[in-house]
């Protein structure tokens, strides 16, 4: 995990060869929906494991069958709310919750309109009460213009003040990170990698394409 020099509290996993190998499979246009979804689940699991290294731990007395000793509990792991941003975060959340198994889960729908406005439509919001001891993890694989997560965080913050707000994603564009950090300076970000730029349609380059479509198939209009 490395903190990017451009922003405080923004980390990538470009120093982790295994996470980079999973990302490489996701980027590959030849990867179909089944391995694509499995790759997102794997990333969720490993990124959650890495995230526990930043969490508060507690030393506790325990008794083995042989003697008394001291063990470790990741205290913050018990106070997690994962916000799943539909659609693409579904497999990522499945991986996160394997490690963060005590998590309460909020579901938010967000659909990004076309360039140049990229208006965000949020229709479905189901978020549990957020408590002061909670770490709120907002899961969304793609952070492009940042508009989706700015709006999701505004909404989520209405449900109570948390100890930490953390975004877990796969790829982020520098423009999106800057916009999110400006709107929500208190937010930490953990992404597999930070890519170069956005194209005119708001897609991340080199990126991996449309994460929702690659995981679930392209929707049609009827």
Ligand X SMILES: O=P(O)(O)OC[C@H]1O[C@H](OP(=O)(O)OP(=O)(O)O)[C@H](O)[C@@H]1O
Q: Does 212 bind Mg ion (CB under 5 A)?
A: yes
- If one counts every other C-beta atom within 10 angstroms of the C-beta of residue 123, the result is 9
Binding residues for 5-phospho-alpha-D-ribose 1-diphosphate: 87, 112, 140-148, 210
Stretch that binds ligand URA, among 61-69, 102-110, 123-131, 206-214 (CB under 6 A): 206-214
Q: Residues binding Mg ion: what is the number (CB under 5 A)?
A: 2
144 binds ligand X (CB under 6 A): yes
Strand partners, 59: 72
User: Is residue 119 within the footprint of Mg ion (CB under 5 A)?
Assistant: no
Does position 146 interact with ligand X (CB under 6 A)? The reply is yes
CB 81, CB 107: distance < 8 Å: no
Nearest to Mg ion of 12, 148 (CB atom): 148
* Residue numbers 134-193 binding ligand URA by CB under 6 A: 142, 144
CB nearer to ligand URA: pick between 100 and 150? 150
The single residue among 80, 99, 180, 211 that binds ligand URA, judged by CB under 6 A, is 211
Q: Label residues 206-215 b or e (16+ Cβ within 10 Å = b).
A: ebbbebbebb
Please tell me whether residue 43 adopts helix, strand or coil conformation.
helix
Site residues (CB under 6 A) for ligand X? Answer: 85-88, 110-112, 118, 140-148, 176, 202, 210-212
């Amino acid at each position: 995990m490395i903190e990017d020099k451009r922003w405080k509290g923004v980390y990538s996993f470009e120093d982790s060869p295994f996470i980079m190998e999973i990302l490489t499979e996701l980027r590959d246009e030849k990867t179909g929906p089944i391995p694509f979804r499995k790759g997102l689940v794997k990333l969720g699991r490993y990124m959650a494991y890495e995230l526990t290294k930043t969490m508060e731990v507690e030393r506790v007395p325990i008794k083995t069958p042989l003697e008394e000793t001291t063990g470790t509990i990741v205290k913050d792991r018990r106070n997690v709310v994962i916000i799943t941003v539909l659609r693409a975060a579904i497999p990522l959340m499945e991986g996160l919750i394997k490690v963060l198994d005590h998590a309460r889960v909020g579901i938010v729908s967000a659909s990004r309109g076309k360039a140049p406005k990229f208006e965000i439509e949020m229709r479905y919001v189901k978020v549990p009460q957020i408590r002061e001891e909670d770490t709120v993890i907002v899961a969304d694989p793609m952070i492009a213009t940042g508009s989706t997560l700015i709006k999701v965080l505004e909404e989520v913050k209405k449900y109570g003040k948390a100890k930490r707000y953390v975004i877990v994603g796969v790829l982020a564009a520098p423009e999106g990170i800057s916009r999110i950090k400006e709107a929500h300076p208190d937010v930490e970000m953990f992404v597999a990698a930070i890519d170069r730029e956005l194209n005119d349609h708001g897609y991340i380059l080199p990126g991996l394409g449309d994460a929702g479509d690659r995981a679930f198939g392209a929707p049609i209009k009827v």
